[in-house]
Amino acid sequence: MIAQDIVRTVDFPKERRIGPSGRLRKIRCADNRLARARAISWIVRAKIARDPAPTGARSNVSIERLRLIRPDDWHLHVRDGAMLDSVVPDTARQFARAIIMPNLKPPVTTVAQALHYRQRILAALPEDAGFQPLMTLYLTGQTSPEEIRRAADCEHVYAVKYYPAGATTNSAAGVANIRQASAALKAMQDCRLPLLMHGEVTDPAVDVFDREAVFIERDLSWLLASFPELPMVLEHITTADSASFVRSGPDNLAATITAHHLLENRNAMFRGGLRPHHYCLPVLKREAHRQALIEAAISGHPRFFLGTDSAPHPKAAKESDCGCAGIYTARTALGLYAEVFEAAGALDRLEGFASLHGPDFYRLPRNTDTIELVRRPEPVPELIEFGGQPGVPFRAGGEVRWRLA
Ligand code: NCD
Ligand code: ZN
């Protein structure tokens, strides 16, 4: 059942313009003056995955409502304690599942810790939330093949996360040289337990804007050559280099893309002054890279999928002389992605990116229920509460063009 229902407003009464190849099948006409009216709403069903058509051909069509198979977030930070209670409902409202990052203090390095953390997440969920946290382990130099096998056998652990030591928030316990984790990687390959990568080198001699590209050269190429059967996800890609490397890479390599890297370039960090709430890692890049990421996200390519990397930090920890990296997008995540796909004339590709490609890559069942988005502005508060402390969400004080119906 690959279906995405859309309510469109057609600017011109030219039925032919709706779909480039008859791909869009009208199932209900809300206004029988179709041929005469200038703006008409109707619901169409787009078979999006089987017959992807070139995008851009529908620029005269403005879509107002969108029904998608419920999406999943394949990269999420929910923290712990009071912060967890505050943030996890935002994700549970929109997504069925999320891959939960293990970079707590101390990190989640064992299956036993992951199961306890999972219980705390479940306890923080609103009643009746059908949300499922998909747990991960934090790879260290000490991660044993036995622990990997326990993880693969555990129904709640879905991947292992590689943080190069010192690359980002709470990564000090990560792996200094990935080649030293070969035994664990071999066990992961044997069990087909995916490796999720923070893809940046930490070599201080490498410019901060080049760290992802150099990671591909120095480490990812080695990983692919050494573990050709290991499923790998290059997380939160930020560059044209990564997008083209993944696109032309083998089937065991995929990438997640955040909403903020699709919506902002590096100018956002310096707009009128220093803007700590636009600081994340990997850092925002120049406009040409953002354009390449949009191309990848809307391409319909099955190895690109949604991962918000929503990463809450209290306002005070961001507005500091050494501010934390991380942007909180979970409050309005789906609306933000819908904005990107709409602006690119590719809303019919959103379901693949948000709801289908991820479970297919992880070999998990696709969700069966649906959600509906409407094009009605959603105001974003200036501040939201992160476990008793103020936090600043992405687009604070502004609005997002799409919201949950
Ligand atoms: C993340 C965090 O705060 O945990 N920060 C970020 O800027 N993305 C860590 C990470 O994913 O790099
Ligand atoms: Zn992250």
H helical segments located in 9-110: 81-94
Give pLDDT, residue 322: 97
Distance 168 CA to ligand 1 centre (A): 6
Q: In the prediction, which pLDDT does 360 show?
A: 98
Distance of alpha carbon 24 from alpha carbon 134, whole angstroms: 34
Q: What is the per-residue pLDDT for 4?
A: 64
168: Cβ below 6 Å to ligand 1? yes
Q: If you count DSSP H runs as helices and E runs as strands, how many of each does the chain have, helices first?
A: 13, 18
Measure 75 CA to ligand 2 centroid, in angstroms: 6
* Matching CATH number, 70-361, of 3.55.40.20, 3.20.20.140, 3.30.230.10, 3.40.50.1000: 3.20.20.140
Local mean pLDDT, 10-residue blocks, the chain (405 residues): 50 29 28 28 32 44 91 98 98 98 97 98 95 98 97 98 92 93 98 98 97 97 98 98 98 99 98 98 98 98 98 98 98 98 97 98 98 98 97 98 98
Ligand 1 centroid to Cα of residue 102, in Å, is: 11
C-beta of 281 in contact with ligand 1 (< 6 A): yes
pLDDT at 8: 47
Burial readout 252-271 (b: 16 or more C-beta within 10 A, e: otherwise): bbbbbbbbbbbbbbbeebee
Selection from 158, 156, 159 nearest residue 185 by Cα: 159
- Concerning whether 309 is annotated as a catalytic residue, the answer is yes
pLDDT at 62: 80
Ligand 1: which of 74, 84, 215, 281 to mutate, most ligand atoms within 8 Å of CB? 281
pLDDT digit string, tens, across residues 298-343: 999 999 999 999 999 999 999 999 999 999 999 999 999 999 999 9
pLDDT in tens, 350-369: 999 999 999 999 999 999 99
Index of the ligand 1 atom closest to the CA of residue 235: 11
- 175: tokens are 């792996």
CB 200 within 8 A of CB 163: no
In order of 48, 116, 163, 210, 251, the CA distances from 234 in angstroms are 25, 27, 11, 15, 13
Nearest CA to ligand 1 atom 6: 326
Residue of 383, 392, 260 whose CA lies nearest to 323: 392
Portions of the chain given CATH number 3.20.20.140 = 70-361
Q: Which ligand is nearest to the CA of 168?
A: 1
**Residue owning tokens 């994700």:** 91
Look at residue 390 and give its three-state secondary structure: strand
Give the distance (Å) from ligand 1 centre to CA of residue 162. Answer: 13
Radius of gyration of the chain from its Cα atoms, rounded to whole angstroms? 21
- Does ligand 1 come within 6 angstroms of the Cβ of 211? no
Reported as a single tens digit per residue, the pLDDT across 222-263 is 999 999 999 999 999 999 999 999 999 999 999 999 999 999
Q: What is residue 56's predicted lDDT score, i.e. its pLDDT?
A: 45
